[in-house]
Structure 1
Amino acid sequence: MKHHSPIKDLKKHLRLGALARRDGLDAEYRIEASMRIAEIGLASFEVESGGIVSGFWPIRSEVDLRPLLFGLRERGARLCLPVIMDKQTILFRELVRGAPMVETGFGTAGPPEDAVVLDPTFMLVPLAAFDARGHRIGYGAGYYDRAISRLLEIGVNPRLIGVAFDCQEVEIVPDEPHDMPLEAILTESGLRRFGSTDKAI
Protein backbone atom coordinates (compact mmCIF):
# COMPACT_ATOMS: atom_id res chain seq x y z
CA MET A 1 0.00 0.00 0.00
CA LYS A 2 1.34 3.42 -0.99
CA HIS A 3 1.78 5.70 1.99
CA HIS A 4 0.13 9.09 1.86
CA SER A 5 2.54 11.90 0.91
CA PRO A 6 1.63 15.48 1.86
CA ILE A 7 4.30 16.78 -0.56
CA LYS A 8 2.80 14.80 -3.44
CA ASP A 9 -0.66 16.13 -2.56
CA LEU A 10 0.62 19.71 -2.46
CA LYS A 11 2.44 19.26 -5.78
CA LYS A 12 -0.71 17.87 -7.34
CA HIS A 13 -2.72 20.85 -6.07
CA LEU A 14 -0.13 23.33 -7.41
CA ARG A 15 0.12 21.45 -10.72
CA LEU A 16 -3.64 21.47 -11.29
CA GLY A 17 -3.91 25.16 -10.40
CA ALA A 18 -1.06 26.19 -12.73
CA LEU A 19 -2.36 24.07 -15.60
CA ALA A 20 -5.86 25.51 -15.17
CA ARG A 21 -4.39 29.02 -15.44
CA ARG A 22 -2.44 27.99 -18.54
CA ASP A 23 -5.54 26.41 -20.10
CA GLY A 24 -7.39 29.66 -19.41
CA LEU A 25 -5.02 31.79 -21.50
CA ASP A 26 -6.50 33.22 -24.66
CA ALA A 27 -5.34 31.22 -27.72
CA GLU A 28 -4.05 34.35 -29.42
CA TYR A 29 -2.13 35.33 -26.29
CA ARG A 30 -0.50 31.88 -26.24
CA ILE A 31 0.66 32.29 -29.83
CA GLU A 32 2.06 35.78 -29.19
CA ALA A 33 3.72 34.68 -25.93
CA SER A 34 5.29 31.67 -27.67
CA MET A 35 6.75 33.97 -30.34
CA ARG A 36 8.08 36.28 -27.61
CA ILE A 37 9.63 33.26 -25.85
CA ALA A 38 11.35 32.34 -29.13
CA GLU A 39 12.70 35.90 -29.53
CA ILE A 40 14.04 36.01 -25.97
CA GLY A 41 15.54 32.51 -26.23
CA LEU A 42 17.28 33.26 -29.51
CA ALA A 43 18.68 36.52 -28.09
CA SER A 44 19.84 34.81 -24.86
CA PHE A 45 21.06 31.29 -25.65
CA GLU A 46 24.52 30.45 -26.86
CA VAL A 47 24.39 26.97 -28.35
CA GLU A 48 27.53 25.93 -30.18
CA SER A 49 27.18 24.53 -33.69
CA GLY A 50 26.50 20.80 -33.34
CA GLY A 51 25.23 21.27 -29.76
CA ILE A 52 22.37 18.89 -28.99
CA VAL A 53 19.20 20.65 -27.88
CA SER A 54 16.17 18.77 -26.61
CA GLY A 55 12.80 20.46 -26.85
CA PHE A 56 9.22 19.26 -26.90
CA TRP A 57 6.32 19.39 -29.36
CA PRO A 58 3.42 21.34 -27.83
CA ILE A 59 0.45 19.43 -26.45
CA ARG A 60 -2.71 20.90 -24.96
CA SER A 61 -1.99 24.50 -23.93
CA GLU A 62 1.83 24.28 -23.69
CA VAL A 63 4.22 26.90 -25.00
CA ASP A 64 4.80 26.31 -28.72
CA LEU A 65 8.57 25.84 -28.82
CA ARG A 66 8.78 25.24 -32.55
CA PRO A 67 9.82 28.81 -33.52
CA LEU A 68 12.63 28.70 -30.93
CA LEU A 69 13.74 25.18 -31.88
CA PHE A 70 13.83 25.98 -35.60
CA GLY A 71 15.73 29.19 -34.89
CA LEU A 72 18.35 27.23 -32.94
CA ARG A 73 18.58 24.71 -35.78
CA GLU A 74 19.29 27.57 -38.21
CA ARG A 75 22.32 28.33 -36.02
CA GLY A 76 23.62 24.79 -36.28
CA ALA A 77 22.09 23.06 -33.25
CA ARG A 78 21.01 19.42 -33.54
CA LEU A 79 17.45 19.01 -32.25
CA CYS A 80 15.89 16.08 -30.46
CA LEU A 81 12.51 15.34 -28.92
CA PRO A 82 11.52 13.03 -26.05
CA VAL A 83 9.95 9.69 -26.88
CA ILE A 84 8.32 7.55 -24.19
CA MET A 85 9.82 4.06 -24.33
CA ASP A 86 8.05 2.49 -21.34
CA LYS A 87 6.58 3.52 -17.98
CA GLN A 88 10.03 4.52 -16.69
CA THR A 89 12.01 5.84 -19.62
CA ILE A 90 12.16 8.56 -22.21
CA LEU A 91 14.87 8.73 -24.85
CA PHE A 92 15.60 11.64 -27.16
CA ARG A 93 15.41 11.05 -30.90
CA GLU A 94 16.92 13.42 -33.44
CA LEU A 95 14.46 15.74 -35.18
CA VAL A 96 15.60 15.90 -38.80
CA ARG A 97 14.16 18.40 -41.23
CA GLY A 98 11.49 16.75 -43.42
CA ALA A 99 11.33 13.49 -41.45
CA PRO A 100 7.83 12.23 -40.57
CA MET A 101 6.48 12.66 -37.03
CA VAL A 102 4.87 9.70 -35.29
CA GLU A 103 2.69 9.27 -32.20
CA THR A 104 5.03 8.99 -29.19
CA GLY A 105 2.73 8.69 -26.17
CA PHE A 106 0.66 11.10 -24.04
CA GLY A 107 -0.67 12.76 -27.18
CA THR A 108 2.79 13.89 -28.25
CA ALA A 109 4.47 13.50 -31.62
CA GLY A 110 8.12 12.80 -32.25
CA PRO A 111 10.68 11.35 -34.62
CA PRO A 112 10.18 7.76 -35.84
CA GLU A 113 11.91 4.61 -34.55
CA ASP A 114 14.73 4.77 -37.09
CA ALA A 115 15.80 8.24 -35.89
CA VAL A 116 19.17 8.57 -34.15
CA VAL A 117 19.02 8.59 -30.32
CA LEU A 118 20.95 11.56 -28.91
CA ASP A 119 22.03 12.65 -25.42
CA PRO A 120 21.08 16.34 -25.12
CA THR A 121 23.56 18.80 -23.65
CA PHE A 122 21.01 21.64 -23.56
CA MET A 123 17.49 20.78 -22.42
CA LEU A 124 14.39 22.91 -22.79
CA VAL A 125 12.32 21.29 -20.09
CA PRO A 126 8.51 21.22 -20.04
CA LEU A 127 6.80 21.83 -16.72
CA ALA A 128 3.44 22.36 -15.09
CA ALA A 129 4.57 24.90 -12.46
CA PHE A 130 7.73 26.65 -11.25
CA ASP A 131 8.83 28.95 -8.46
CA ALA A 132 11.22 31.88 -8.15
CA ARG A 133 14.06 29.57 -7.01
CA GLY A 134 14.06 27.52 -10.20
CA HIS A 135 12.27 24.48 -8.83
CA ARG A 136 9.77 22.85 -11.18
CA ILE A 137 6.75 20.61 -10.93
CA GLY A 138 6.48 18.29 -13.90
CA TYR A 139 3.41 16.45 -15.07
CA GLY A 140 3.73 13.88 -12.33
CA ALA A 141 5.27 10.87 -14.10
CA GLY A 142 8.92 11.68 -13.32
CA TYR A 143 10.20 11.01 -16.84
CA TYR A 144 12.44 14.07 -17.01
CA ASP A 145 13.91 13.53 -13.53
CA ARG A 146 14.93 10.01 -14.54
CA ALA A 147 16.21 11.09 -17.95
CA ILE A 148 18.37 13.82 -16.39
CA SER A 149 19.71 11.36 -13.78
CA ARG A 150 20.64 8.92 -16.57
CA LEU A 151 22.49 11.66 -18.47
CA LEU A 152 24.41 12.64 -15.32
CA GLU A 153 25.34 8.99 -14.74
CA ILE A 154 26.93 8.73 -18.20
CA GLY A 155 28.83 12.00 -17.70
CA VAL A 156 26.57 14.36 -19.66
CA ASN A 157 25.79 17.41 -17.53
CA PRO A 158 22.99 19.09 -19.49
CA ARG A 159 21.99 22.72 -19.12
CA LEU A 160 18.41 22.72 -17.77
CA ILE A 161 16.17 25.55 -18.95
CA GLY A 162 12.50 25.42 -18.02
CA VAL A 163 10.01 26.88 -20.46
CA ALA A 164 6.56 28.07 -19.37
CA PHE A 165 4.13 30.95 -19.36
CA ASP A 166 4.29 33.49 -16.51
CA CYS A 167 0.91 32.30 -15.21
CA GLN A 168 2.47 28.94 -14.25
CA GLU A 169 4.58 30.47 -11.47
CA VAL A 170 3.65 29.42 -7.93
CA GLU A 171 4.86 30.82 -4.63
CA ILE A 172 6.94 27.81 -3.64
CA VAL A 173 7.51 24.32 -5.02
CA PRO A 174 8.08 21.86 -2.17
CA ASP A 175 11.52 20.24 -2.50
CA GLU A 176 12.02 16.52 -2.82
CA PRO A 177 15.46 14.88 -2.77
CA HIS A 178 15.31 13.78 -6.42
CA ASP A 179 14.35 17.23 -7.73
CA MET A 180 16.79 18.83 -10.16
CA PRO A 181 16.68 22.65 -9.91
CA LEU A 182 16.72 24.49 -13.22
CA GLU A 183 19.51 26.78 -14.33
CA ALA A 184 16.98 29.25 -15.74
CA ILE A 185 13.31 29.72 -16.62
CA LEU A 186 12.25 31.21 -19.94
CA THR A 187 8.81 32.86 -20.04
CA GLU A 188 7.22 35.54 -22.19
CA SER A 189 8.51 38.23 -19.81
CA GLY A 190 12.15 37.19 -19.99
CA LEU A 191 14.85 34.73 -19.01
CA ARG A 192 15.45 34.31 -15.26
CA ARG A 193 18.70 32.70 -14.22
CA PHE A 194 19.03 30.97 -10.85
CA GLY A 195 21.88 29.96 -8.59
CA SER A 196 25.35 31.42 -8.58
CA THR A 197 26.16 30.89 -12.24
CA ASP A 198 26.87 34.05 -14.21
CA LYS A 199 28.00 32.22 -17.33
CA ALA A 200 26.18 32.88 -20.58
CA ILE A 201 23.46 30.38 -21.29
Structure 2
Amino acid sequence: MRHNRGRVEPDKRERRREVLRVRNGLTDDDVRTHAQALARHALALPELAGAGTVAAYVSVGSEPGTLALLDALRARRTRVLLPALLPDNDLAWGVYEGAGSLVPVRHGGRMTLLEPAGERLGPDTVTEADAVLLPGLSVDARGMRLGRGGGSYDRVLARLGRAGVHPALVVLLYDGEVVERVPEEPHDRPVHAVVTPSGVRRFGPGPQAPGDAP
Protein backbone atom coordinates (compact mmCIF):
# COMPACT_ATOMS: atom_id res chain seq x y z
CA MET A 1 0.00 0.00 0.00
CA ARG A 2 1.33 3.44 -0.90
CA HIS A 3 2.00 6.04 1.76
CA ASN A 4 -0.48 8.89 1.92
CA ARG A 5 1.22 11.55 -0.18
CA GLY A 6 0.92 14.13 2.61
CA ARG A 7 2.93 11.85 4.86
CA VAL A 8 5.72 10.93 2.44
CA GLU A 9 8.12 13.80 3.15
CA PRO A 10 7.77 13.65 6.97
CA ASP A 11 8.34 9.88 6.78
CA LYS A 12 11.43 10.44 4.62
CA ARG A 13 12.80 13.05 7.05
CA GLU A 14 12.34 10.68 9.98
CA ARG A 15 14.13 7.85 8.20
CA ARG A 16 16.98 10.18 7.17
CA ARG A 17 17.47 11.28 10.77
CA GLU A 18 17.63 7.66 11.93
CA VAL A 19 20.26 6.68 9.37
CA LEU A 20 22.40 9.77 9.93
CA ARG A 21 22.33 9.24 13.71
CA VAL A 22 23.74 5.73 13.28
CA ARG A 23 26.32 6.86 10.70
CA ASN A 24 27.51 9.64 12.96
CA GLY A 25 28.39 7.03 15.57
CA LEU A 26 30.89 5.31 13.28
CA THR A 27 34.61 5.80 13.85
CA ASP A 28 37.11 6.62 11.11
CA ASP A 29 38.40 3.04 11.38
CA ASP A 30 34.86 1.71 10.91
CA VAL A 31 34.42 3.78 7.76
CA ARG A 32 37.80 2.69 6.32
CA THR A 33 37.17 -1.01 7.02
CA HIS A 34 33.72 -0.91 5.46
CA ALA A 35 35.04 1.01 2.44
CA GLN A 36 37.50 -1.77 1.61
CA ALA A 37 34.74 -4.40 1.78
CA LEU A 38 32.42 -2.24 -0.34
CA ALA A 39 35.10 -1.80 -2.99
CA ARG A 40 35.80 -5.54 -3.11
CA HIS A 41 32.15 -6.47 -3.64
CA ALA A 42 31.45 -3.62 -6.07
CA LEU A 43 34.43 -4.50 -8.25
CA ALA A 44 33.02 -8.02 -8.67
CA LEU A 45 29.86 -6.64 -10.26
CA PRO A 46 29.80 -7.48 -13.97
CA GLU A 47 28.12 -4.12 -14.60
CA LEU A 48 31.25 -2.36 -13.31
CA ALA A 49 33.75 -4.86 -14.70
CA GLY A 50 32.45 -4.27 -18.21
CA ALA A 51 31.88 -0.52 -17.91
CA GLY A 52 33.88 1.91 -20.00
CA THR A 53 32.50 4.89 -18.04
CA VAL A 54 31.18 4.93 -14.48
CA ALA A 55 29.50 7.97 -12.92
CA ALA A 56 30.30 7.93 -9.22
CA TYR A 57 30.73 10.36 -6.31
CA VAL A 58 33.17 11.17 -3.51
CA SER A 59 31.93 10.12 -0.09
CA VAL A 60 32.09 12.63 2.76
CA GLY A 61 32.19 12.14 6.52
CA SER A 62 30.66 8.87 7.65
CA GLU A 63 29.08 8.01 4.29
CA PRO A 64 30.00 4.56 2.95
CA GLY A 65 33.48 5.22 1.59
CA THR A 66 34.04 5.42 -2.16
CA LEU A 67 37.68 6.47 -2.64
CA ALA A 68 39.08 2.92 -2.59
CA LEU A 69 36.56 1.97 -5.27
CA LEU A 70 37.26 5.06 -7.37
CA ASP A 71 41.00 4.32 -7.35
CA ALA A 72 40.43 0.67 -8.25
CA LEU A 73 38.16 1.60 -11.15
CA ARG A 74 40.72 4.12 -12.41
CA ALA A 75 43.45 1.45 -12.15
CA ARG A 76 41.32 -0.67 -14.49
CA ARG A 77 41.37 2.27 -16.94
CA THR A 78 37.66 2.88 -16.40
CA ARG A 79 36.68 6.48 -17.08
CA VAL A 80 35.24 7.72 -13.77
CA LEU A 81 32.98 10.77 -13.74
CA LEU A 82 32.51 12.72 -10.52
CA PRO A 83 29.86 15.37 -9.82
CA ALA A 84 30.26 19.08 -9.19
CA LEU A 85 27.23 20.71 -7.57
CA LEU A 86 25.72 23.63 -9.49
CA PRO A 87 23.88 26.58 -7.85
CA ASP A 88 20.49 25.12 -8.84
CA ASN A 89 21.37 21.72 -7.26
CA ASP A 90 21.92 20.11 -10.67
CA LEU A 91 25.22 18.32 -11.29
CA ALA A 92 28.02 19.02 -13.74
CA TRP A 93 30.73 16.35 -14.11
CA GLY A 94 34.49 16.01 -14.25
CA VAL A 95 36.87 13.11 -14.86
CA TYR A 96 38.55 11.60 -11.79
CA GLU A 97 42.33 11.81 -12.06
CA GLY A 98 43.24 10.50 -8.60
CA ALA A 99 42.73 11.70 -5.02
CA GLY A 100 45.18 14.55 -5.55
CA SER A 101 42.93 16.02 -8.22
CA LEU A 102 40.03 16.61 -5.81
CA VAL A 103 39.42 20.04 -4.29
CA PRO A 104 37.13 20.95 -1.35
CA VAL A 105 34.26 23.19 -2.39
CA ARG A 106 31.89 24.75 0.12
CA HIS A 107 28.39 25.41 -1.17
CA GLY A 108 26.87 28.23 0.85
CA GLY A 109 25.93 27.03 4.31
CA ARG A 110 25.91 23.40 3.27
CA MET A 111 28.63 20.78 3.72
CA THR A 112 31.97 20.96 1.94
CA LEU A 113 32.20 18.53 -0.96
CA LEU A 114 35.26 17.13 -2.72
CA GLU A 115 34.93 17.83 -6.43
CA PRO A 116 37.12 17.22 -9.50
CA ALA A 117 39.49 20.10 -10.18
CA GLY A 118 39.75 19.66 -13.94
CA GLU A 119 37.51 20.55 -16.85
CA ARG A 120 33.81 20.87 -16.07
CA LEU A 121 31.59 18.79 -18.33
CA GLY A 122 27.90 19.51 -18.68
CA PRO A 123 25.03 17.78 -16.84
CA ASP A 124 24.23 15.63 -19.89
CA THR A 125 27.64 13.94 -19.64
CA VAL A 126 26.13 11.44 -17.19
CA THR A 127 24.21 9.90 -20.10
CA GLU A 128 27.54 8.48 -21.34
CA ALA A 129 27.88 6.26 -18.24
CA ASP A 130 27.47 2.50 -18.42
CA ALA A 131 26.88 2.39 -14.66
CA VAL A 132 25.89 5.07 -12.14
CA LEU A 133 26.78 4.83 -8.44
CA LEU A 134 24.12 6.69 -6.48
CA PRO A 135 24.52 7.99 -2.93
CA GLY A 136 21.69 7.07 -0.60
CA LEU A 137 20.57 6.52 2.97
CA SER A 138 18.45 3.39 2.50
CA VAL A 139 17.20 0.98 -0.13
CA ASP A 140 14.19 -1.27 0.36
CA ALA A 141 13.25 -4.75 -0.77
CA ARG A 142 11.87 -3.38 -4.06
CA GLY A 143 15.05 -1.44 -4.87
CA MET A 144 13.54 1.96 -4.01
CA ARG A 145 16.22 4.39 -2.80
CA LEU A 146 15.98 7.03 -0.09
CA GLY A 147 18.34 9.92 -0.86
CA ARG A 148 19.39 12.90 1.21
CA GLY A 149 16.58 15.06 -0.13
CA GLY A 150 18.50 17.61 -2.20
CA GLY A 151 17.03 16.41 -5.49
CA SER A 152 20.31 16.36 -7.44
CA TYR A 153 20.11 12.67 -8.25
CA ASP A 154 16.41 12.85 -9.04
CA ARG A 155 17.54 15.16 -11.84
CA VAL A 156 20.21 12.70 -12.91
CA LEU A 157 17.70 9.85 -13.11
CA ALA A 158 15.20 12.01 -15.00
CA ARG A 159 17.94 13.04 -17.45
CA LEU A 160 18.84 9.40 -18.08
CA GLY A 161 15.19 8.63 -18.73
CA ARG A 162 14.76 11.51 -21.17
CA ALA A 163 17.88 10.40 -23.05
CA GLY A 164 16.54 6.85 -23.32
CA VAL A 165 19.67 5.33 -21.79
CA HIS A 166 19.63 2.62 -19.14
CA PRO A 167 22.89 2.36 -17.19
CA ALA A 168 23.13 0.03 -14.21
CA LEU A 169 22.04 1.91 -11.06
CA VAL A 170 23.96 0.85 -7.95
CA VAL A 171 23.80 2.19 -4.38
CA LEU A 172 26.52 1.77 -1.73
CA LEU A 173 25.18 1.39 1.83
CA TYR A 174 25.95 -0.09 5.23
CA ASP A 175 24.30 -3.40 6.07
CA GLY A 176 21.58 -2.03 8.37
CA GLU A 177 20.41 0.44 5.72
CA VAL A 178 18.75 -2.19 3.53
CA VAL A 179 15.19 -2.21 4.88
CA GLU A 180 11.79 -3.68 4.08
CA ARG A 181 10.28 -0.45 2.76
CA VAL A 182 11.13 3.23 2.35
CA PRO A 183 8.63 6.04 1.65
CA GLU A 184 8.31 6.68 -2.08
CA GLU A 185 6.96 9.34 -4.41
CA PRO A 186 5.77 8.95 -8.02
CA HIS A 187 9.10 10.19 -9.47
CA ASP A 188 11.21 7.72 -7.46
CA ARG A 189 12.90 5.05 -9.56
CA PRO A 190 14.22 1.66 -8.36
CA VAL A 191 17.89 0.77 -8.55
CA HIS A 192 19.32 -2.45 -9.90
CA ALA A 193 21.63 -3.41 -7.02
CA VAL A 194 22.81 -2.37 -3.59
CA VAL A 195 26.33 -3.10 -2.34
CA THR A 196 27.00 -3.38 1.39
CA PRO A 197 30.07 -4.58 3.32
CA SER A 198 28.40 -8.03 3.45
CA GLY A 199 27.83 -8.40 -0.28
CA VAL A 200 25.48 -7.52 -3.13
CA ARG A 201 21.72 -7.63 -3.33
CA ARG A 202 20.03 -7.40 -6.72
CA PHE A 203 16.52 -6.30 -7.58
CA GLY A 204 14.81 -8.02 -10.49
CA PRO A 205 16.41 -10.53 -12.87
CA GLY A 206 20.09 -10.35 -13.71
CA PRO A 207 23.37 -12.25 -13.55
CA GLN A 208 24.75 -13.09 -10.15
CA ALA A 209 28.23 -11.78 -9.36
CA PRO A 210 30.70 -13.60 -7.09
CA GLY A 211 29.94 -12.64 -3.49
CA ASP A 212 26.30 -11.74 -4.13
CA ALA A 213 24.17 -11.99 -1.03
CA PRO A 214 21.14 -14.26 -1.31
Range of TM-score over shorter length: 0.7 to 0.9
Which segment is superposed worse, 44-53 or 191-200?
A: 44-53
Q: Which has the higher helix share?
A: 2
Q: 167, 188, 192: which one pairs with 1:183?
A: 192
Q: Deviations over 1:87-109 (max 9, x none)?
A: 24112221124763233443111
1-structure distance, mates of 2:196, 2:81: 21
Aligned 8 A contact 1:50 1:76 in 2 = no
Aligned to 1:24: 25
Q: Which moved more, 1:190-199 or 1:139-148?
A: 190-199
Cα distance in 2 between the residues matched to 1:126 and 1:110:
15
1:69 aligns with 2:36: no
Which blocks of at least 5 consecutive residues in structure 1 are unaligned? Answer: none
Counterpart Cα distance in 2 of 1:107 and 1:82: 13
State the AA in 2 paired with 1:63.
P
2:178 equivalent to 1:169:
yes
Q: 1:108 aligns with which of 110, 113, 127?
A: 113
Task: Report 1:47-86 matches (<5 A).
Answer: 47=48, 51-86=52-87
Partner Cα separation in structure 1 for residue 197 and residue 176 of structure 2: 10
CA RMSD of aligned residues (A): 2.3
Secondary structure in structure 2 of the residue aligned to 1:102: strand
Contact 1:14–1:170, Cα closer than 8 Å, also in 2: no
For residues 199 and 169 of structure 1, what CA distance do their matches in structure 2 show? 18
Hey, what's the Cα distance between the residues in 2 that align with 1:98 and 1:108?
Answer: 13
TM-score by length of 2: 0.82
2-structure distance, mates of 1:98, 1:163: 19
Q: 1:102 to 1:179 in 2, by over 3 A?
A: same
Q: Which moved more, 1:83-92 or 1:95-104?
A: 95-104
8 Å CA contact retained: 2:194, 2:202: yes
- Structure 2 unaligned spans of 5+: none
**What is the CA-CA distance between 1:116 and the residue it aligns to?**
4.1
Identity over aligned pairs, percent: 31
Give the CA deviation at 1:136. 1.1
**After superposition, where does 1:116-195 map in structure 2 within 5 Å?**
116-117=121-122, 118-119=125-126, 120-195=129-204
Count of residue correspondences: 198
